[in-house]
């Protein structure tokens, strides 16, 4: 199904675990340095209201004076677990794209804020880079280095799977519980 900007609370609350979505609109990349910076009170250089943040450290090079995205898959999200929920609440961030899923704290904020976790396919840097149709800006690159900067990516039909929703559902918690039980049976 298509998920198009603006990413309103209503659209986000309609999503359920297992939904395969294609996102069209603007994404902001942000990973370890950006999350710590914002959490420590740093001022966001972009408007994060009703935004989707993408946990991604892309390969971007300048060709003929223009930014070109060479690779842009997701990075592991769980590292942002201490920061993500409070930032969702503070800035009304409606979606987070990453990989590997996040924990109970973020899941709780997904419910209270009205936000979702969208799982992109880890390592699929080319398929995902191709869905970035324009780079509309870059912030904090001097301070944090290119992979840790906030890149503004205009995307079309960017594919992801909803694995944590605003109703308390988490595919990650479910798979962990089931696989833990299977292993316990195996080791008897």
Cα–Cα distance measured from residue 159 to residue 21, given in angstroms and rounded to the nearest whole number: 6
Q: How far is the CB of 47 from other proteins (least distance, A)?
A: 26
- The yes-or-no answer on residue 167 being catalytic is no
Q: Using CB under 8 A as the criterion, what x/- string covers residues 67-96 for binding other proteins?
A: -x-xxxx-xx-x------------------
**Does 57 engage in binding with other proteins (CB under 8 A)?**
yes
Residue 150 has φ and ψ, to the nearest 5°, of: -95, 110
Among 4, 89, 136, 178, binds other proteins (CB under 8 A): 178
The b/e string for 93-102 (b: 16+ C-beta within 10 A; e otherwise) is bbbbbbbebb
Q: Total binding residues for other proteins by CB under 8 A?
A: 48
Among 94, 99, 131, 139, binds other proteins (CB under 8 A): 99
Residues in 136-175 that interact with other proteins by CB under 8 A: 145-148, 159, 161, 163, 171-172, 174-175
Going from the C-alpha of 43 to that of each of 37, 78, 106, 153, the distances in angstroms are: 8, 23, 21, 20
CA nearest 53: which of 115, 9, 114?
115
Cα–Cα distance measured from residue 91 to residue 95, given in angstroms and rounded to the nearest whole number: 11
Among 2, 13, 18, 109, binds other proteins (CB under 8 A): 18
For residue 4, list its beta bridge partners. Answer: 24
Instruction: Decide: residue 71, CB within 10 A, 0-12 exposed, 13-18 middle, 19+ buried.
Output: middle
Which residues of the shown chain bind other proteins in the complex (CB under 8 A)? 18, 20, 33, 56-59, 61, 68, 70-73, 75-76, 78, 99-101, 119, 121-127, 129-130, 145-148, 159, 161, 163, 171-172, 174-176, 178-180, 182-183, 186-187
């Amino acid at each position: 199904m298509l998920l198009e900007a603006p990413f309103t609370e209503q659209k986000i609350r309609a999503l359920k675990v297992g939904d395969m979505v294609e996102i069209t609109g603007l994404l902001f990349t942000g990973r370890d340095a950006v999350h710590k910076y914002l959490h420590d009170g740093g001022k966001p250089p972009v408007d994060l209201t009703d935004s989707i943040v993408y946990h991604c450290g892309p390969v971007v090079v300048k060709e003929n004076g223009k930014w070109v995205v060479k690779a842009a898959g997701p990075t592991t999200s769980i590292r942002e677990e201490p920061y993500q929920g409070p930032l969702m609440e503070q800035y009304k961030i409606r979606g987070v794209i990453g990989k590997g899923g996040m924990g109970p704290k973020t899941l709780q904020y997904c419910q209270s804020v009205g936000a979702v976790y969208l799982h992109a396919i880890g390592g699929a840097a080319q398929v995902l880079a191709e869905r970035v149709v324009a780079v509309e800006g870059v912030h904090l690159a001097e301070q944090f280095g290119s992979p840790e900067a906030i890149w503004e990516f205009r995307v079309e039909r960017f594919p992801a799977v909803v694995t944590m929703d605003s109703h308390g559902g988490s595919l990650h918690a479910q798979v962990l519980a089931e696989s833990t039980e299977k292993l316990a049976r195996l080791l008897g």
